[in-house]
Structure 1
């Protein structure tokens, strides 16, 4: 499956060979990547070719001329095995004989294992094939100074040799394989399969043969397929003792393993063995200022090596590694060296976990407690440590790791703490309503006024806020504050949920009023205050104070402490919304990509659903409907796991945005009118309706539903505000409705009032541009073309800056703006960046602002080399010569 481009290239070379011009193809890639399959498919399509195929010996050092001898035999020739040059002459003669009958497909597999003498003769011979109708395809793994060296002994493979490197399959190819195997593979699960296997067809096939994809990727790290493990185990068993000991040392020490440490663990021959492992593709060499390191090419190989290492050998390696390391790494090795319970070590780990919690390092603390549980000789202590470890993992948004302990938690005796953890694990599975029910049971079981009960109340407040039940969220959080006022961290989180609950019941301004204890500058917030800072940012955005919201949410999202991870991706989601409304769409995409990377590691399914929905909205705004629908498909799939209504909001908004960009108002209404108190929680509608009411009113006007639009505008007027965003939106749709009804004076007054609204809390560029578009159209209609085109040109400039192609095209069509001084299409961001990816467009824009590569890398959370890579692509696509030309192009726009 897949490899359409590579197969087409090979077919074209075959046609060249039919015309009398020989061709040499060097086909390389990792084991299992599909080299043999591609050659099989090529051969199946070349019925008029004679197939000559052989491979290098599979094990041991091949004697001189061994591969050539095999080639001669496959071609039906004869030669002297101990004289490689004579074997080459015999091979050339055999190919000449076959050429007289018709074209020849000459294939040698696994050439990376060929003897040097055969390689030298083959290079010499294949450069002389030109008069023959021979397509030579040589396959193997890429190795430094190996068979692919184009300037090696004998002068290389010839100037016309074609190299085809096979990377892993694309996501689309993996999807095709999934369908061909008869497996149910949704968009998200296929994406995960591609990530797990790196697109390696052999690995993909092994997973599909053994696993149901949705179950495999629910949460947590999937088990490797047994067939892959068995194949690796057989390969490892065939290794000599020295390299195998180095691999075992690597697996025990951890990635990456310094070569100096491996020498201590595996003996003085470790450097020599390491070179052999690298050459065999079983290890990867890295180097930095601290020296050389070895790492495994895949987690599957590391896990297979570790599992296959004898227990006594593992313990000895860990004991030795403990003397070479410190900190948390040393604790891990001390645990690995134990043979049964070790109460003293368990107590020491418990103390280390307490110190880590005091520092706010929840993940290391959880790991110490997991190890302490393993070393405990008391079942009660072990159970308490397990419960504390799982709770910390949930608080740190490590749901996959937490769920690994589900069976162990179920085996614990009944207790309030066990019920609490069962509730938190249900939350990890996206069963938010189920989590509420279990936490309510845990609360009833916990002693009144205890720290445990207060903690459960805080957890309940979070769950109630997810369920859109503001009154219950506020009550639970306030109860925690009353019961444990002396616990500053717990109280700080409880105050965040008091604000969230109050906002749901009484509106965002009321929620903001509860957060007066926060410092004015977000950077001054202490780590325990970050959940409350997140809530202040969310609520500020909802009332239209977009710039202060961005400041709060940026700090909360960037600092990403365990206290904010407990809130999932809330800060990131609302940060993207604020950038979107401010007309900062590149910044919105940048924040979204950072958030999606975080969600891939620590996100819940409903986080993925919301983030993918936002991605769909951004794509739709730029006219990229196919990409928007692809994101929406993934979002819909991820939302299916949730047992509450929250994800429906973002899904509906994404559906509506796609329809709005395409100019289909009926579909907009179909999507957004589902966001009513009858379909989702009334508290949630009350808090968030400012997100969708302007689009509803706009679409109702397009359809001539004037009375319905008036009701929507009245409802929008009741949304509490403290900034200019929604007042500008209200002026836009109010002016549109008045113009549709023929009240031109009222429409003009509303539009003018909207343009005059000061940018309090940030300039709502998106709604202001929509208003200017509508006002410009009205002015043209009533006979004021000069002013109308000026207003439309202003709208066009904003749409162009955003890259909002569908809206720009409509505005231009409505007023023929180009004739009156608007930007030329070639200079509009939505047009001159055609063909650039989102990341390339983003980097180009930052270069235009004078940023250096290190500054761009820091802003985008990528390496400077990645920035350089994207810039090279930008230069090529835009046909410009360098940074200065790119900066000039961007600044001209």
Structure 2
């Protein structure tokens, strides 16, 4: 293999080809593999994909390619990939089958969530790979439509035990990073493809150039190409034989400052310029038609009266292939053709394509071509685009909906109607995750003569855009102003907007004038029907802002009771996360647990992955306070994977919370610091409070009370609508340990004002524990006993264990060593069992100080399970089937089966029936604590 050349003819690509060969070996062995092949235009990514296909004997191959002009058509890339596999569609569960059918326009139905579509694609790939290894190849992934990119990135992150590979080829920008419009692939395994070595570059030039090549010209070409194979082949085409032989260098028409991709494109342009006019026109039509439908191209060419043999010169030049499909030699050829044409020439090509497109079977592309052919305002085309937008929305293509609405607005003659359509397009752009584009369209809408309702909606949208762009502090007052304008226009929308303002205020810690919220809530009250769950929630939060915690408790309790109702309306379900936040604020763990469980279930059932990460985070929080860290870990990992796949930012990154409660110092500090920076930059007060509170928990567990005190004070500096109560708990303990009596007394007073108003066992148990810490003398014992009694009544293992711990520490200082040991043993056993390592170590040190040597508990076999294995095992133990577990956890049934195989091996069992006995019962911890001696 002299010069690094392989049998495939790829020079200098030994490392890359070997990596692809290993990928195929793994897939044939039953493992899933994902790879992003990344490099600049012309570096050889497509050639590597060709190598992969050539070596994929015994594998089924599914292919797709992103096309720049097709980026607005929802699920276009996904349909390319899945179309050959649709014969397996009937094997999917009905919800997944219907979602995929609707997304592809095969069936009519409500708009599917794009990640329910993703679960269907995951199932489809799993079904195909069950029969033969599957290679999914996605070229030019930077030009995938957003819906396809998000679904495919999600699927790539959920593959595990299928004999399937997904290989993406992505063009790097000048900085070597992913295409800015598609961050979804970031973090997946990568194969970076760089330039050839000078030795291989010179060898490739020898292959490409027949005849003498001056050494100075050779050196200049190699230097200019920087190892890019396509550049090495294309740039010399611009030189005459005399220039190649005589050393005159590259022509002046190719400026050195032009980026390499632009220079290659310019090279293609010069070759195109030498072709006959009819050939150039034919290539333009082909460039404007992204599907590569040869029959459609012929019909469009007939309408333009292009000669039948016009393709021959372009084929001879090696620029394009005409067969069943039309394929350009390289995407740069397509872009060069399209960009070189005049606006009139492009419009003529699109007009011909629109006329040649079937008006019954391909309405969307026909409408898009008609829109591109329009010279100025055209109400007929605008109306057709509106209908197309409706169809795109029905398929769940939010980005496509936004694109069609945007173009419809541009083609609308009437100024007021244009503004209304621009407003609708801006809203769709925001929903599609493009807040910058939404802001531009909102500015356009603002220049139009809108009616009062649309003016209010525009103001609301601007606030939502500000929130999405990270300008969180601006959103709450803007939303309140919008709500005030909506009161006389739409009472229901006014109250919804007011609730959005309060929710934004919780996240940012800055609400503005809370009196406005109370006034609007009262003004917008409807007397025609009794208040529902969201009405009560709004009234309670408005009261909370204006009159304080205690005044809001009765109303918020009623709101939580309404949210627990089995017949909760669909429009109220979107606020389950906020109800969970309120339940936590009211120290109502039982309601928090129930509502968070329902929120995750509803999000999973609907495949609503825009909602699921937040729902999962609140569910994880309920698990954390129950000491169920494994279950919390699975949910937080799932939330992180989803937000990564969707490219959306978490409103309150809780990633540092779990390692802090577990006492994993190094991991927790890194995550807390990263979240702190992000929250500060985005103006997220609740996220700051959450992470500072987690930091205080970590340091109190480690016995670093000075650091805990500082972190708790920072957490309490945030708005009281965030995690103020939990932060006060940590502040009391840290202040007592630091002998900051005045600060401890102040924090305890503020804490008791809340816990007393709540009146729950959790609240009063926490209050009693804190009073015990802050009390000197024998009376402290009464508080500690009350804390243990109250905290034993719920699933609050960490809080109960800490009550035993501080009681034991107090008993030791009182020289009641025997009684101290009983409490400290109980605390250590519970903390060690749930994995709260820092607090468990604190209990161990205290026990050692009493003269008792503590042995760490034997690690049970289930402790070897990963978080995901444990969750799957629990679900299987409850009788769930593999498809049911897969649907709930967004995994394929085969991956679930693979995890269960590992679970059985680790637990030493052979059937699902044995799972229930083999897994731990966390409830035993609480029961055991109730029977433990209390002194």
Q: TM-score range by the shorter chain?
A: 0.5 to 0.7
Mapped partners of 1:308, 1:757: distance in 2: 77
Q: Offset at 1:337?
A: 4.5
Q: Offset at 1:618?
A: 0.1
Partner of 1:860: 889
Partner of 2:748: 713
Mapped partners of 1:754, 1:299: distance in 2: 69
Match for residue 425 of structure 2 among 349, 373, 389: 389
Q: Is 1:651 the counterpart of 2:691 in the alignment? A: yes
Mapped partners of 1:769, 1:490: distance in 2: 41
Q: Cα 1:456–1:871, aligned 2, differ >3 Å: closer, same or farther?
A: closer
Partner of 1:272: none
- Contact 1:489/1:528 (<8 A) preserved: no
- Contact 2:507/2:687 (<8 A) preserved: no
Q: Cα 1:755–1:592, aligned 2, differ >3 Å: closer, same or farther?
A: same
Partner of 2:552: 510
Q: Is 1:642 the counterpart of 2:642 in the alignment? A: no
- List aligned pairs for 1:74-473, cutoff 5 A: 146=54, 195=186, 199-202=190-193, 252=290, 330-331=363-364, 334-338=367-371, 339-340=373-374, 342-344=378-380, 346-347=382-383, 350=386, 369-370=405-406, 372-391=408-427, 394=430, 396=431, 398=432, 400-412=433-445, 413=447, 416=455, 418-435=458-475, 449-451=488-490, 454=494, 460-464=501-505, 466=507, 468=509, 472-473=513-514
Q: Cα 1:476–1:872, aligned 2, differ >3 Å: closer, same or farther?
A: same
Q: Offset at 1:332?
A: 6.1
Match for residue 727 of structure 1 among 747, 760, 764: 764
3-state SS of 2:656 partner: helix
- CA RMSD after TM alignment: 6.0
Mapped partners of 2:420, 2:522: distance in 1: 25
C-alpha deviations, 1:505-557, integer Å up to 9, x for none? 32277255167477464442112223554443322221121121232234345
Mapped partners of 1:858, 1:232: distance in 2: 46
Q: Is 1:669 the counterpart of 2:701 in the alignment? A: no
Mapped partners of 2:620, 2:803: distance in 1: 22
3-state SS of 2:4 partner: strand
Q: Is 1:798 the counterpart of 2:839 in the alignment? A: no
Q: Offset at 1:696?
A: 1.5
Partner of 1:501: 542
Q: Cα 1:768–1:198, aligned 2, differ >3 Å: closer, same or farther?
A: same
Match for residue 482 of structure 1 among 508, 519, 523: 523
Mapped partners of 2:582, 2:646: distance in 1: 24
3-state SS of 1:640 partner: helix
3-state SS of 2:696 partner: helix
3-state SS of 2:3 partner: strand
Q: Is 1:766 the counterpart of 2:798 in the alignment? A: yes
Q: Is 1:541 the counterpart of 2:584 in the alignment? A: yes
Q: Cα 1:557–1:886, aligned 2, differ >3 Å: closer, same or farther?
A: closer
Q: Is 1:839 the counterpart of 2:868 in the alignment? A: yes
Q: Is 1:680 the counterpart of 2:718 in the alignment? A: yes
Q: Offset at 1:881?
A: 8.3
Q: Cα 1:632–1:344, aligned 2, differ >3 Å: closer, same or farther?
A: same
TM-score (norm 1): 0.59
Q: Is 1:576 the counterpart of 2:616 in the alignment? A: no
- Contact 1:409/1:422 (<8 A) preserved: yes
Mapped partners of 1:851, 1:826: distance in 2: 28
- Contact 1:800/1:828 (<8 A) preserved: no
Partner of 1:589: 633
3-state SS of 2:760 partner: coil
3-state SS of 1:590 partner: helix
- Contact 2:544/2:552 (<8 A) preserved: yes
- Contact 1:470/1:503 (<8 A) preserved: no
Q: Is 1:53 the counterpart of 2:3 in the alignment? A: yes
Q: Offset at 1:664?
A: 1.5
- List aligned pairs for 1:805-816, cutoff 5 A: 805-815=837-847
- Contact 2:587/2:760 (<8 A) preserved: yes
3-state SS of 1:731 partner: helix
Partner of 1:699: 734
Mapped partners of 1:473, 1:862: distance in 2: 44
Structure 2: tracts of 5 or more residues without a match:
21-46, 60-140, 142-156, 158-172, 197-257, 273-278, 300-319, 923-935
3-state SS of 1:825 partner: coil
- Paired residues, number: 663
Q: Offset at 1:718?
A: 1.3
